[in-house]
């Protein structure tokens, strides 16, 4: 028997570029085994999904629910939203991948923001818009005359 080959039995887990006994690869928070489970690394420590979401995930500003690891977390000024909850306060239009404005704790699509908060010309009451490159001139009666572009 002295020359018998060594036989290794048992299962192991390969994670984080290391080999682990199944019972030793555990959630940093609750100590439950992560073998065969989804996990999230945070500061080089593995967490089960449940612990990660309860300890680190953000709450949505609109609905108050946790923004889980399978959801997109949209953030602006330390506030967070689910993608489906990132909506204009006034009209409810999605703000995902669009320009938006904020006033206080509320967010608005460009149109609603302009209608409620944008500066307006005292002469014609039109909204001043970013990116306008030409201006009118003032005639002899102090009226704004639009320039021809």
> For residue 53, what is the enclosing H or E element?
helix 49-55
The closest of 71, 79, 131 to 102, measured between CA atoms, is 79
For 111-132, write each residue's pLDDT tens digit: 898 888 888 888 887 877 654 4
CATH fold label, 12-56: 2.10.110
Q: What is the pLDDT of residue 69?
A: 92
pLDDT above 90 covers a percentage of the chain that reads: 46
Domain layout of the chain by residue ranges: 12-56, 58-85, 87-127
pTM of the model: 0.65
Segment 6-35, tens digit of pLDDT: 435 567 677 777 777 667 788 999 989 888
Give the three-class secondary structure for 113: helix
Work out the pLDDT band at 57, boundaries 50, 70, 90. very high
């Amino acid at each position: 028997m002295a020359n018998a080959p060594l036989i290794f039995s048992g299962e192991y887990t390969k994670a984080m570029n290391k080999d682990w006994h199944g019972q030793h690869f555990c959630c940093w928070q609750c100590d439950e085994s992560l073998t065969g489970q989804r996990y999230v690394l945070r500061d080089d420590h593995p967490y089960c999904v449940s612990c990660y979401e309860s300890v680190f995930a953000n709450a949505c500003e609109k609905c108050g629910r946790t923004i889980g690891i399978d959801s997109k977390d949209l953030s602006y000024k330390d506030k967070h939203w689910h993608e489906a909850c990132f909506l204009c306060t006034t009209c409810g239009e999605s703000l995902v991948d669009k320009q938006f404005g904020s006033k206080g704790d509320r967010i608005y699509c460009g149109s609603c923001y302009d209608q409620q908060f944008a500066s307006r010309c005292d002469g014609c009451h039109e909204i001043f818009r970013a990116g306008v490159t030409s201006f009118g001139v003032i005639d002899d009666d102090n009226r704004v005359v639009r320039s021809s572009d």
